[in-house]
Amino acid sequence: MQDKLRHALELCNKNKFDEALPILEEITKEDPMNSEAWRTLAQVHWFYKHEPDKAYDELIEALRCAPKNIWALVLMGNLLTKEKNDVEHAKQYYDKVLEYHPDNAIAINNIGATYMESKDYESALPYMEKALSIDDSYANSYYGLALCSQSVRHFVSTQSVRHFVSTQSVRHFVSTNFILCFLFFSSKECVFPNNLLILQRPYPRL
């Protein structure tokens, strides 16, 4: 069964979702307690098939099988936020991530990113700070912290800028113009003008 799931995941990674879908459905029928198969099936139905209601039901199954499945918890929170506009219930799932997996910086960062996509920077801020307290080399969290700070506190700290620019993985997702913009302001605490559109680019994850 694990070989089937591994094969389905490989197909998903190659964007061959139509081939992966029947394999995942077969796995959930043969092994209905396979939480990861349910979670992956939900991800395919939501992201690729654009069927959030079906994905929601599959995430319920994934969490029934394994209540501490971190990526099922994150995905459920994301779905409730984006598709149902139900931040209150989404937070319950996000809180479970913090309870069960308090040291997973990527998952916690992604929770913050979901709030940011809804322009709820105040809610996102503590998740970015928490992620950085766990892993201070994760460039995405510095980027998120800078955006949240600019929106909530109306300034970006020098420390955030210097750490962000010095992080090794920064070059993988951010433009040279963005780095130059940060470097320009890195000598002092600064207020960003409201029309600084470069800060409005989509927030990168993972």
Range of the domain at 201: 124-206
Task: Evaluate whether residue 90 is within a structural domain.
Answer: yes
Residue 176: burial class (beta carbons within 10 Å; 0-12, 13-18, 19+): exposed
Q: Per residue in 108-155, pLDDT tens?
A: 998 898 888 888 999 999 999 999 899 888 888 888 888 888 777 655
In a domain, residue 139? The reply is yes
CATH number of 55's domain: 1.25.40.10
The total number of structural domains that make up the chain: 2
Question: Would you call 203 helix, strand, or coil by DSSP?
Answer: coil
Phi, psi of 85 (to 5 degrees): 55, 40
The answer to whether position 45 is within a domain reads yes
User: What pTM value is reported for the model?
Assistant: 0.71
15 and 96 housed in the same domain? yes
Strands (DSSP E) found in the chain? none
Could you tell me if residue 114 is inside a domain? Answer: no
Residues 96 and 58 in one domain: yes
Do 23 and 98 sit in the same domain of this protein?
yes
* Share above pLDDT 70 across residues of the chain, in percent, rounded to a whole number: 74
State the average pLDDT over residues 15-37. Answer: 95
Same domain? For 130 and 74 the reply is no
pLDDT of 163? 54
Q: Are residues 135 and 93 in the same domain?
A: no
Q: What is the pLDDT of residues 30-58, one digit of tens each?
A: 999 999 999 999 999 999 999 999 999 99
Q: What is the mean pLDDT of residues 17-26?
A: 95
Residues 12 and 96 in one domain: yes
Q: Which of 42, 68, 102 is the last residue of a domain?
A: 102
Q: Measured between alpha carbons, how far is 125 from 56 in angstroms, rounded to an integer? A: 27
DSSP 8-state secondary structure symbol assigned to residue 201 = S
